[in-house]
Every structure is written in C-alpha cells, then in structure tokens.
Amino acid sequence: MNRPRVLITGGSGLLGKALRETAPADWELYATYYQHRPPINGIPRWFPLDIRNAAAVERLLDRVSPNVVVHTASVGSVDEAERDPEGVRQVNVVGTQTIGHACARVQARLVYISSNAVFDGRHPPYAEEAAMAPVNRYGALKREAEQWVRAHVPTGIIVRPILLYGWPFPGGRENVVTRWLTRLEEGQSVEVAEDVYSMPLLASNCAEAIWAAVRRGQAGVYHLAGADRVRLVEFALATARTFDCDERLVIPVASHRLGLRAPRPFDTSFVTTKMTRELGVRPIGIAEGLAMMRHARVLAV
C-alpha cells in the first residue's frame, strides 16, 4: 500500500516546522519555502515556491502528486495587510485560489489555514459557525480566501488557529513569545496589551489537531486554540516567569498606545468543542506550553 503524500506550503514557517515535527511516521512529507530554505535536510524534501506563480504551483503538484496539501503559506503580518492590501491579497487570496485549483487538478485534499482575525472580537466565545466580521484588512482577506475555499473546495478543511507560539526555524519569523524573550533576556522592557484577550496555541498542539483532521478524513471548519483564555499581558508575565526573566520588565498598556497600524479585535476567544470531541486533541494551556518550549531549548543546547 502506498504511503500518503503530504505537501506543506510555507513549510519554513512556525506551523510548517511543527507539522514536520509531528507528522505521522509512515507518511511521505514534502514542503515548500519562499525565500529562505530551512537549515535542515532529510524529511521533508524541500522545494522553492512562489504561490503567486500558477505555472510553478501546477508543476510542483504534478511532480509531487500529493494526496493532501496543507496550505500554510501566507503573509502573516496584520499591519502589512493594512499597508499593502493588494500585495497581501495576491498571496493570501489569489495564492490560495492557485493552490486550490492545483489541488483539484491532481485530486488532492486541501487544508487551508485561516485565522481568528475573521471575527470582530465583540461576541466571544466564537464557535465555527459564528458570523465573520473582521475589523482589519488582514481579517477581510482571510475571510475572502475562506469564502472561496467553501465555494470551490467542498471537501476542504478550514483551520482557524489563534495566536500561535513556539520555536521557529533559526532565522525564521518571530512570534509573540520569541519576540518577548529577545527583549526580556537582554534586560529590556516590553509593552504588552492589558485589554486584549486570547487563547494562545502552541504550534505543535495546532499541528497535532491538523494531522488528526487529515487522518480522520474530516471536512469543514475547525477552531484550534489553547486551553487558557488570558490577557496578553498575563501571557507575557507567564513567559517571563517560565524563562526566569524579570517580570517587572513586562509593562501593561492599553492596546491603542502600542502604535499599531491596523485595529485589532479585543477578544476572539474560541469554542473548542470540535477540537476535543471530533479530533480527539486536548488543548494545551500556557504553563504547559511554555514549559515545553523551555525543555526543548535545554535539549537543543
């Protein structure tokens, strides 16, 4: 029996790294990167890819002939989408459409990674069927891509993670925890929103749920989140404690004082019933997740 083949777009990102590390051992894994190839060989096999290039996407999928494509590649900056909405749309929407068309061509299942940013944050907690009402252009583009997937890929899986954190590849894009640690461990203060709530999600916990959805042949929308609903400043304080940094360096501020280009929703907390009941995956809380990050750092030394 042939082993399932999975292609991960954006495999050099945080979630791509976690998917690689948690992938079923008996599956063939392939992954793409855009500009910087991760400094690691072996599984998966790596391919450069610009998802805006339809011909290149078709050539790669024809070559790999995957059973499943986990589409994580995107511009992840909320403020960049506000600054250059059309440029980001070419990646986050048109690129998703290009991947979707190529999946249909080779009869591969599509897993599309969306975002909690499709919600306005005024009526939490949000179940999968809640009405989408983004407050910024990044969320609006994610909604547009979701709507296309729903209309054109009825067997697809739409995954909405919330505030992913973990260790990226060396030189990879930072997340809130690694960004805080860079400053805290140098003795520098960090200003963190005291009025924004989230349910931080360890990247490996997210990846585990994605693999569960793929293995079980699921379709539809899934909300993936950590176990704890906390203010961002509480998450930053927990990060400082876990890594033995000075908690006094964490400065609570109102979010409007952070000078962000795009507005942010105040509370997009999720209902995670489908994650636990349908996928059989336990959400991990911030204490456990941060401890796992610390342990991974010790092992890497």
Residue-level pLDDT at 301: 54
Span 56-106, pLDDT tens digits = 999 999 999 999 999 999 999 999 999 999 999 999 999 999 999 999 999
280: left (phi over 0), alpha (psi -120 to 50) or beta: left
- Cβ proximity of 274 and 219 under 8 Å: no
Judge whether residue 36 has pLDDT over 90.
no
Residue-level pLDDT at 40: 77
Averaged pLDDT of the chain: 96
294's tokens: 């610390």
pLDDT over 70 percentage in the chain? 98
Could you give all domains of the chain from N- to C-terminal order, each with its CATH number? 5-166+201-226+272-283 (3.40.50.720)
- Cβ proximity of 206 and 15 under 8 Å: yes
Q: CB within 8 A of 270, min separation 6: which ones?
A: 116, 125, 126, 127, 160, 162, 199, 223, 224, 225
User: What's the rounded mean pLDDT across residues 166-183?
Assistant: 95
178's tokens: 């690694």
Taking the C-alpha atoms of residue 189 and residue 179, their distance in angstroms, rounded to an integer, is: 11
pLDDT over 90 percentage in the chain? 92
Residue-level pLDDT at 1: 46
Residue-level pLDDT at 39: 80
140's tokens: 């609006």
8: left (phi over 0), alpha (psi -120 to 50) or beta: beta
Owner of token pair 């998917």: 19
With cut-offs at 50, 70 and 90, classify the pLDDT of residue 43: low
Span 129-157, pLDDT tens digits = 999 999 999 999 999 999 999 999 999 99
| Cis ω before 125 (30° cut-off from 0) | yes
Q: CB within 8 A of 168, min separation 6: which ones?
A: 13, 14, 17, 174, 175, 178
With cut-offs at 50, 70 and 90, classify the pLDDT of residue 18: very high
Say if residue 198 is exposed, middle or buried (CB neighbours under 10 Å; 0-12, 13-18, 19+). buried
- Where is pLDDT greater, at 297 or 125? 125
Residue-level pLDDT at 208: 98
Residue-level pLDDT at 300: 66
Q: CB within 8 A of 299, min separation 6: which ones?
A: none
User: What's the rounded mean pLDDT across residues 267-293?
Assistant: 98
Judge whether residue 120 has pLDDT over 60.
yes
DSSP 3-state of 8: strand
User: What's the rounded mean pLDDT across residues 9-23?
Assistant: 96
Amino acid symbol at 39: P
Q: Which residues of 26-37 are buried (b: 16+ CB within 10 A; e: fewer)?
A: ebbbbbbbbeeb
Judge whether residue 215 has pLDDT over 80.
yes
Judge whether residue 46 has pLDDT over 70.
yes
Judge whether residue 286 has pLDDT over 90.
yes
Taking the C-alpha atoms of residue 38 and residue 36, their distance in angstroms, rounded to an integer, is: 6
Span 224-260, pLDDT tens digits = 999 999 999 999 999 999 999 999 999 999 999 999 9
- Cβ proximity of 261 and 238 under 8 Å: no
134: number of Cβ within 10 Å = 21
Residue-level pLDDT at 42: 66
